[in-house]
Amino acid sequence: MAAPLAGIRVLELARILAGPWAGQLLADLGAEVIKVERAGAGDDTRGWGPPFATGADGAPIGAAYFHATNRGKKSIALDFESPEGQATVRALAAESDVLIENFKVGGLSRFGLDHETLSALNPRLIYCSVTGFGQTGPYAPRAGYDYLVQGMGGLMDLNGEAAGEPQKVGVAVADIFTGLYATAGILAALHRRGETGKGARIDMALLDTQVSVLANQALNFLVSGEVPHRMGNAHPNIVPYQVFPAADGHLIVAVGNDGQFARFCAVLGAAEIALDPNHLHNADRVRHRDTLCATLAALTAKFARDDLLARLETVGVPAAPINAIDQVFADPQVIHRGLKVMLPEAGGGTVPSVACPIVMDGQRLVASSASPRLGADTASILAALAEHAAS
């Protein structure tokens, strides 16, 4: 199968996570992604370790963090401060379909690499800026960090135990969601360009994204006027939908309708609980959450975890274990779906990666190479530019 974005060139002037995540996904989809890095240092995350990946010779080739978000790209190392480096970026932008950058607002203007300058050189260019707070508004000049945005955007106040302190999510979800939304915007702009021939300016902000993915919690507030707060592992709108104790650990039970609830109670040997007028429908169960879940927890605690999981699966009640990451990659479904991949890198070795989740026409879309070494493609890219200029 031909890669969906074959023939599309992406110029990535982005570091850390949100912008590179978009670039990596576009590389998975088949685009040529040229990552422009500062000569000598490169993307900050190359040094964000340990752990560090190693090449075939056993020497470190960059932090695992860097390899998590840069597979399938080419790397050119340039001096942004020099006229020569700036001219090279402009030449690349003139031949690119997409540019992704995550400098502070106005940060590229002093290099002559801002949207206005580059779109004048290439009116078909889709220029995607990723910042903490967007190109406009009172916070626009601020630097943005995922951790801060999880707090400012309401997520941390929803995450954690009710009586405990607010908690961030264990991965940088504001960054990652912003990268995903940026990719969606870029693909939409490419589609529109096919109709109009014109590029686009895409303005992505971490805070915008974080607020937008508050999802049902945002609507719970906007509809009711009541502020939702932390509930630990419970669900604000569905009961029972949380972690329950077992005799030897914990499990998740995610009851989604009244029939599942009745079968859950039957498995626990307490079918009468589902017939109680206080428990007949989800709205009833939400109102009586505390007493009901305490009763259910006392019952689940009598079962061995895996035995209860097997019984619930047999009767179609959604339930799952809580896996550590080593258990995730040992899970037979994860193995079957090929979510761990080993990608070749320039030194002759391989680097592990987590595959793109998109499967199209039976084929998983994932880049064919590991993250590049710093400046690995500088010579070939400069040679191609020189050849193009001479023709």
Would you please indicate which residues are annotated as catalytic (active-site) residues? 175
Question: What's the mean per-residue pLDDT of the chain?
Answer: 96
Q: What is the pTM of this model?
A: 0.94
Is residue 1 pLDDT above 80, yes or no?
no
pLDDT for position 388? 85
pLDDT for position 389? 86
Is residue 81 pLDDT above 90, yes or no?
no
Domains and CATH numbers, the chain: 9-213+335-390 (3.40.50.10540), 241-324 (3.30.1540.10)
End-to-end CA distance of the chain: 33
- pLDDT by residue (tens digit) across 155-213? 999 999 999 999 999 999 999 999 999 999 999 999 999 999 999 999 999 999 999 99
Please give, one letter per residue, the 3-state secondary structure of the chain.
CCCCCCCCEEEEECCCCHHHHHHHHHHHCCCEEEEEEECCCCCHHHHCCCCEEECCCCCEEEEHHHHCCCCCCEEEEECCCCHHHHHHHHHHHHCCCEEEECCCCCCCHHHCCCHHHHHHHCCCCEEEEEECCCCCCCCCCCCCCHHHHHHHCCHHHHCCCCCCCCCCCCCCHHHHHHHHHHHHHHHHHHHHHHHHCCCEEEEEEHHHHHHHCCHHHHHHHHHHCCCCCCCCCCCCCCCCEEEEEECCEEEEEECCCHHHHHHHHHHCCCCHHHHCCCCCCHHHHHHCHHHHHHHHHHHHCCCCHHHHHHHHHHCCCCEECCCCHHHHHHCHHHHHCCCEEEEECCCCCEEEEECCCCEECCEECCCCCCCCCCCCCHHHHHHHHHHHHHC
How far is Cα 30 from Cα 254, in angstroms, rounded to an integer? 37
How far is Cα 137 from Cα 144, in angstroms, rounded to an integer? 14
Stronger pLDDT, 81 or 195, i.e. the higher one: 195
The Cα-based distances of 9 to 29, 71, 100, 198 in angstroms read 12, 15, 11, 16
Percent of the chain with pLDDT over 90: 97
pLDDT for position 250? 97
| Type of residue at 174 | A
pLDDT for position 5? 98
- pLDDT by residue (tens digit) across 86-132? 999 999 999 999 999 999 999 999 999 999 999 999 999 999 999 99
Residues 6+ apart with CB under 8 A from 364: 337, 338, 355, 356, 358
- pLDDT by residue (tens digit) across 233-269? 999 999 999 999 999 999 999 999 999 999 999 999 9
Is residue 277 pLDDT above 80, yes or no?
yes
Is residue 391 pLDDT above 90, yes or no?
no
- pLDDT by residue (tens digit) across 126-138? 999 999 999 999 9
pLDDT for position 390? 86
Is residue 339 pLDDT above 80, yes or no?
yes
Percent of the chain with pLDDT over 70: 100
Is residue 7 pLDDT above 80, yes or no?
yes
pLDDT for position 2? 85
Is residue 387 pLDDT above 90, yes or no?
no
Is residue 214 pLDDT above 80, yes or no?
yes
pLDDT for position 131? 98
Is residue 27 pLDDT above 90, yes or no?
yes
